[in-house]
Amino acid sequence: MENVLECFSFLSNTLKFKMSLYLVLNIASFFVPFLYSFENRMKYIRRWKAVFSAILITAIFFIVWDIIFTKIGVWSFNPRYHAGIEFFDLPIEEWLFFICIPYASLFIHFAFHYFFPTVSLSNKIVKRIYWILIVVLIPTIAFNYDKLYTAINYTVLVLLLTYTVFKVPNVLNTFFITFLIVLIPFSIVNGILTGSFIEEPVVKYNNAENLGIRLGTIPIEDIGYAFSMLLMSLVLIKKIEKNRNESI
């Protein structure tokens, strides 16, 4: 046992790696949904090809966005809480975030859809929610065009919502419900990342680039950011599975 610990210590020192709070949050978020992916009834594992393909494509978009925003100072990462391994100025934990968090969140969505298949919103209600969001988001973008996180985040959200409502039916009917459930674990994880329960935030935001409105410690823009990230993955999953079924 001592030899194993010595070996791990040597590798850790060689790679300048340490177990970080951010890494623990990623692993904890991913671990339980991953184990339940093999559950006999739901068999989430059967969707893996579409799910991971969609997550990776979405991750590329959001990582590029992340790299740019980090470079221009929209947000930054506290070295106290990550392992010190960085690629393009993003800690390795941030890269893992775009795999672990969407996987866990999408698992919640599909689990709800499987166990409560009849619970969904009508197309009429979906359209009403869509127009309410548009009426709120468009003026917010227009009056805050100089705040990069607010303007770009909500512009992406508006575009994705519009495309989904008019081009990809029957996605938001359930997702508007399941996202409210996803917000519970999301608020815990993102709350910690933004400074809840710890001395300093893991992710530091430049408040000049956002509305300055916080839900606890979470910038309100993060809700739209999470919604867009998951919605993009869901739309891609639906298209991938549709193409696969048509090719059979």
**Dihedral sign for Cα atoms in the order 199, 202, 207, 213:** negative
| Phi–psi pair at 42, nearest 5 degrees | -75, -40
Q: What is the pLDDT of residues 190-236, one digit of tens each?
A: 999 999 989 899 999 999 999 999 999 999 999 999 999 999 999 99
Helix orientation angle between 221-247 and 48-71, rounded to the nearest 10 degrees: 140
Kindly state the percentage of the chain with pLDDT values over 90: 79
pLDDT of residue 7: 45
Q: What is the pLDDT of residue 18?
A: 53
Instruction: Over range 73-88, report the average pLDDT.
Output: 93
Across 30-45, average pLDDT: 88
Q: What pLDDT does residue 178 have?
A: 98
Mean pLDDT of the region 85-97 = 95
pLDDT band at 40 (very low <50, low <70, confident <90, very high): confident
Closest CA to 137 of 105, 164, 162, 167: 162
